Amino acid sequence: MTGGGKPTLLYVSPVVPLLTGNGLAMRAGTVLEFLAQFYAVSLLVVRLYPPFNTAIPKVFQRMCQRTAIIDPHGRSWWSTLPFGRWLNPATKYRRHRFDVVHVFRLATVSHAREFLAKVNGRAAHLDLDDIESTTHTRIAQLCYANGNDPAGRHEEWQSQQCRAAEQEAFRSFDRIYVCSENDRETLKHRVGVELCVLPNVVRLPEAPSAESGRNLLFVGTLGYYPNDDAARYLCEEIVPRASSQSSAGFRVNIVGPGASRELMKAASADRVQGIVSLRGCVADLEPWYRDAGVVVVPVRAGGGTRIKILEAFSYLRPVVTTSAGIEGIDALHDEHVLIGDTPEEFAHHCVRLMGHSELRRRLAANAWDLLNERYSMEALKRPSAAI
C-alpha cells in the first residue's frame, strides 16, 4: 500500500500509452487511466510494437508514481556506461514490491517474468486485448484467399505459437482481461481463473462537430496485414463500384503509416486516380475525422474490437463496415452502422450514405448513444467496483 492507501500496481505495456492514433496504444492509455482510479500505478514500457515513441505523454506521467521506457531489442544510452546496468529502469523497478503486476498483451509476458516471480501470493493480471491464436488463424485464411501461401503458412505457425503461449499464461495469472463478451465466451472453457471483460473505449471529444463534406475516410496502421488488405480491398473492389454508382464526385483519404508497395500501386491505379489519396502518418487525426462524411472500415480479418470504429462514433461520423470489422461491438446494421460483406454491398452503402443526410445523422446519433452507454471512459468506470 502507498501512503495514500491505494494498493500498488506495476503496469507493463509493450507500447507507450497514447490518447489517439494507434489502437493498441489507445487501449494501453484507457486501461491505464482505468487502473489509476484504484491503484498507485508504476508504468514500465517495454517497446515491442510500433509506434516506438520515446516519451510518455504528460497526462499519463501525472497518473503514475513512476514511468520508464526500455528497448529490449536495442542499445540504450545507459548500457554503454560503466555499471550502466544499474541505470536500467527495470533494475530500478526491482527494488519495489507491488501488490499487483498487470501485463498488457501476450508478447509482454516473457519481459515481465522477473516481476511476476516476486508477486508471492499477490495478484498477477493479464490483459489479452485479443485472442491472438484465433486472430492469426483468421489472417492465415485471408492470406490464402489472397494467394499468399507463404504468409498464410507463417500465420498458421504464429497461431500455434500463440496457442501454446496462451495456455502457459493461463496457468501463470489469476485474472485475465479480454475486450469483449465474444472473447470471454471463446475463452471460458480454456481458462480456469477469473475472466473479466474490460471493453475498448474512447475519450469523448469536448465538442463533436456536425458532418462535413462527401469524403470517405479510412484510418489504420497499414503495416498490420488486415489493415493493408482492407485498404487494398477498398481501392481495388469498393471505390470503383462506388464511383460508377455515384452521380456526384467524392474523395477517399487513407490515413496511417506503413503502406505496402501493393497498396501504393492500388491507390494510384487508373480506376481510382483522383479519388484515392494515401495520407501517411498524420500528427492529429481530428481534422481528418471532421472533414469526413463517412468512415469506412472494410476489414476482412483480425481480432479484438476496432477502436477506430469507436473513435468514428465519438466524432459523430457514420460508419460503413464489414461483419469482421464490427465484431465485438454491440452495433446493429441500419441502426448504428451499415454492414456490407461484399464489395457491391459495401459500395452501395457508401453511395447511399453520401446522398442521404438524414440517414447519416440518424446513424451517427444512435452510434453516439451506444458509445456513451457502453464504450466511453465514463461507461468503463461504471462497473469498476465489481472489477
pLDDT, tens digit, for every residue of 192-223? 888 999 999 998 877 666 666 679 999 999 99
Instruction: Look at 93 and 256; give whichever has higher pLDDT.
Output: 256
**94: pLDDT confidence band, cut at 50, 70 and 90?**
confident
Each residue's pLDDT tens digit, 148-199: 999 999 999 999 999 999 999 998 898 999 999 999 999 999 988 889 999 9
Report the C-alpha gap between 300 and 298 in whole angstroms: 6
What is the rounded average pLDDT of the residues 288-300? 95
The mean predicted confidence, pLDDT, of the chain is: 89
The per-residue DSSP string of 123-138 comes to EEEEE-SS-HHHHHHH
Instruction: Check whether 319 has a pLDDT greater than 60.
Output: yes
Beta-strand (E) ranges in the chain? 8-13, 40-46, 64-70, 100-104, 123-127, 175-178, 194-197, 215-219, 252-255, 276-280, 292-297, 319-321, 338-339
- Per-residue pLDDT band at 302 (split at 50, 70, 90): confident
CA-closest candidate to residue 199, choices 175, 174, 178? 178
What are the φ and ψ backbone dihedral angles of 308, each rounded to 5 degrees? Answer: -65, -30
pLDDT value of position 86: 45
Q: Is 41 left (phi over 0), alpha (psi -120 to 50) or beta?
A: beta
CB 15 within 8 A of CB 47: yes
Domains by residue range for the chain, with CATH: 8-201 (3.40.50.2000), 215-375 (3.40.50.2000)
Q: Name the band, by pLDDT with cuts 50, 70 and 90, for residue 386.
A: very low
Name the 3-class secondary structure at 251.
coil
Q: Is the pLDDT of residue 90 over 50?
A: yes
What integer pLDDT is reported at residue 272 of this predicted model?
A: 94
pLDDT computed for residue 124 by the predictor: 92
pLDDT at 280: 94
Closest CA to 317 of 275, 354, 277, 351: 354
Q: pLDDT tens across 109-121, in order?
A: 998 888 887 655 5
Residue 362 pLDDT exceeds 50: yes
The C-alpha cell that represents 82 in the structure block: 560503466
Query: What pLDDT was estimated at residue 96?
Result: 80
What percent of the chain has a predicted confidence (pLDDT) above 70?
A: 89
Mean pLDDT (whole number) for 288-297: 94
Q: Residue 83 above 50 pLDDT? A: no
Dump pLDDT digits (tens) for 21-79: 788 999 999 999 999 999 999 999 999 988 787 899 999 999 999 999 988 765 554 45
CA distances from 29 to 77, 109, 294, 364 (A): 26, 19, 26, 25
